[in-house]
Chain A
């Protein structure tokens, strides 16, 4: 699954996943709407399948039933024998793997757009899992230029120790779409509109690529994950401080050593103890309290992609 695969042959099968997390409603409602009326997501020469990834969690209105679906697409879980009381999401992952994979195989779907929301003030965010996929770098570059002047950030999660086995990773070209801030269980018109636009631009890109449009070599500014920073915690595991008001809502803005990051209920400020300026993301994401992540730090990196020319079918 390398850049060459995408750069040479047309992309024919695209899936749009909503409800990988059942309480992130923009994707859930968009996919449900497109299942009823898919006109908006049809493109010439392309098969587009809207799909609810975690229907039981969607029904319940929760992130997951037993475990996070977006963390169980690793070989161990995908290959596991399924005893009676397996976690729902592991069973579901295997089903998704059958339908849209196999991961790494030539029959896998070409692209999965996986739609998410965050409570963090991240705006429009695209998530990249590798720095070496020219097709996706070009796609993201295209989407960013369409959305401009509205900012669109690219989050690169290629660090092996921090990589997680995402639902979308069964496809050859996995695309994470993350729009916030939106509370869990809420559907905001403005956030829905932004997500809708991103999906539209992504599908347009795929169609143009397939039609042979040339995309000249480009560069893309991305934010590469460095580390996850947890809340200060008490001995019993409870959080002992809140994200500092100076950091709250400041996703993608520079955080310098010594800047305030946490505030205790006794009024004590805890400063950032890093060595250099970083760019925080997922600041105060509700779902990450249990994962021990108050925010993640990133560094700005520039990726480049070769020009793209698709051979006509």
Chain B
């Protein structure tokens, strides 16, 4: 979804979703807190709606029951009729699409913040599908300038690939990915960092709604190339693990010849690509089953055009 609310309208329907993965606890506990006490999500021009995206998985503190909810927002799943006995997450995706969508329609929510954690050392990662999403790139720029610590931008869209994520239900969306935090653990530092990022994102929307224009800028972002799998036996057993020199080095340059894996035998495996890449989601627990030891990212610089203030709303 690469729309800009072009010469836009104010945003007034904004959601903050947590527990899309039931064991990523920062979002779970923030949303539960905001459901009791939503004052923190209120701004002068709008109030954001908190929502627990996968309540059954959250109750069991697992990532999902049948399938990854954050891969369930494709047309096939959203229009599937076989839901009674089908996967829980497909039914849940359809419900979320009714509440905050329909995806791709004029009735969809204006913006969704989707809160996630990773065990990888990604600190505070801003996730969106493409740099063409001008509004969200401006938000990311604003968040980077107004919060502490590294805040890399991660672009997950691939050419020709349908946008499958929960945040794609709304007209615009941003994933917040904070780590490292083990799944099923709630860390105070990660929680407060996520809270600050959400607050900053809401501030940006409020400023925009109040009639602020934002000038053009250049910005660094990391664009997904492809995944790299673990070394495995023909029967799919792990033969080794992320090399200690690569562990925790998310968004550091990885050059051809640098070590990436170590086998149980002690042998080292080196990166054989042609060019320097930037790894992300290094050794993420949930990605072992997806065949991903890390994602190879390309570091890019994009020139983002100005964002004009919205038209004043009718009173």
Contact of B241 with A187 in the complex, beta carbons under 8 Å: yes
Which B residues lie within 8 Å of A290 (CB)?
Answer: 61
Q: Smallest CB–CB gap between B190 and chain A, Å?
A: 10
Binding site for A on B (CB under 8 A): 29-30, 32-33, 61, 119, 180, 182-189, 191, 237-238, 241-244, 247, 262, 264-265, 283-286, 288-289
Contact of A284 with B237 in the complex, beta carbons under 8 Å: no
Which A residues lie within 8 Å of B180 (CB)?
Answer: 183
Chain A contact residues: helix, strand, loop or mixed: loop
Q: Smallest CB–CB gap between B115 and chain A, Å?
A: 14
Q: Smallest CB–CB gap between B89 and chain A, Å?
A: 18
Contact of A183 with B188 in the complex, beta carbons under 8 Å: no
The closest CB in chain A to the CB of B285 belongs to: A185
Contact A265/B29 with A186-B285, A190-B247, A289-B61 known, Cβ cut-off 8 Å: yes
Which A residues lie within 8 Å of B185 (CB)?
Answer: 119, 183, 284-286
Give the docked Cα–Cα distance between A286 and B185 (Å).
5
**Binary interface encoding of chain A residues 26-49 relative to chain B, with 1 for a CB under 8 A from any of its CBs, else 0:** 000110110001000000000000
Q: Smallest CB–CB gap between A264 and chain B, Å?
A: 9
Contact A184/B188 with A190-B244, A265-B33 known, Cβ cut-off 8 Å: no
Contact of A243 with B184 in the complex, beta carbons under 8 Å: no
Contact A189/B285 with A184-B183, A248-B187 known, Cβ cut-off 8 Å: no
Give the docked Cα–Cα distance between A181 and B181 (Å).
11
Which A residues lie within 8 Å of B237 (CB)?
Answer: 32
Contact of A245 with B189 in the complex, beta carbons under 8 Å: yes
**Most B-side CB within 10 Å, residue of A30, A61, A183, A287:** A183
Additional A-B contact list (11), CB under 8 Å, known A119-B184, A181-B182: A29-B238, A33-B264, A61-B288, A185-B286, A185-B288, A186-B285, A187-B283, A188-B241, A245-B188, A263-B188, A286-B184
Q: List 30 A-B contacts (CB under 8 A).
A: A29-B241, A29-B264, A32-B237, A61-B288, A182-B182, A184-B285, A185-B285, A185-B288, A186-B182, A186-B283, A186-B285, A186-B288, A187-B238, A188-B242, A188-B247, A189-B241, A189-B243, A192-B241, A242-B187, A242-B188, A243-B186, A243-B188, A244-B188, A248-B187, A248-B188, A265-B29, A284-B185, A286-B182, A286-B184, A287-B184
Contact A289/B241 with A33-B264, A185-B288, A186-B283 known, Cβ cut-off 8 Å: no
Give the docked Cα–Cα distance between A248 and B188 (Å).
8
Q: Smallest CB–CB gap between A310 and chain B, Å?
A: 32
| A238 beta carbon closer than 8 Å to chain B | yes
| A239 beta carbon closer than 8 Å to chain B | yes
The closest CB in chain A to the CB of B230 belongs to: A187
Which A residues lie within 8 Å of B189 (CB)?
Answer: 245, 248
Which A residues lie within 8 Å of B33 (CB)?
Answer: 265
Which B residues lie within 8 Å of A181 (CB)?
Answer: 182
Which A residues lie within 8 Å of B183 (CB)?
Answer: 183-185, 286
**Binary interface encoding of chain A residues 183-217 relative to chain B, with 1 for a CB under 8 A from any of its CBs, else 0:** 11111111011000000000000000000000000
Q: Smallest CB–CB gap between A289 and chain B, Å?
A: 7
Which A residues lie within 8 Å of B119 (CB)?
Answer: 183, 185-186
Residues facing B in A230-287 (CB within 8 A) are: 238-239, 242-245, 248, 263, 265, 284-287
Give the docked Cα–Cα distance between A239 and B184 (Å).
13
Top 4 nearest A-B pairs (CB, nearest first) are: A183-B182, A185-B285, A286-B184, A189-B244
Give the docked Cα–Cα distance between A181 and B187 (Å).
13
**Binary interface encoding of chain A residues 97-123 relative to chain B, with 1 for a CB under 8 A from any of its CBs, else 0:** 000000000000000000000010000
The closest CB in chain B to the CB of A192 belongs to: B241
The closest CB in chain A to the CB of B182 belongs to: A183
Contact of B241 with A183 in the complex, beta carbons under 8 Å: no
Give the docked Cα–Cα distance between A61 and B288 (Å).
10
Give the docked Cα–Cα distance between A51 and B5 (Å).
60
Contact A189/B238 with A243-B188, A284-B187, A286-B184 known, Cβ cut-off 8 Å: no
Give the docked Cα–Cα distance between A290 and B185 (Å).
11
Give the docked Cα–Cα distance between A30 and B265 (Å).
11
Q: Smallest CB–CB gap between A283 and chain B, Å?
A: 10
Which A residues lie within 8 Å of B265 (CB)?
Answer: 37
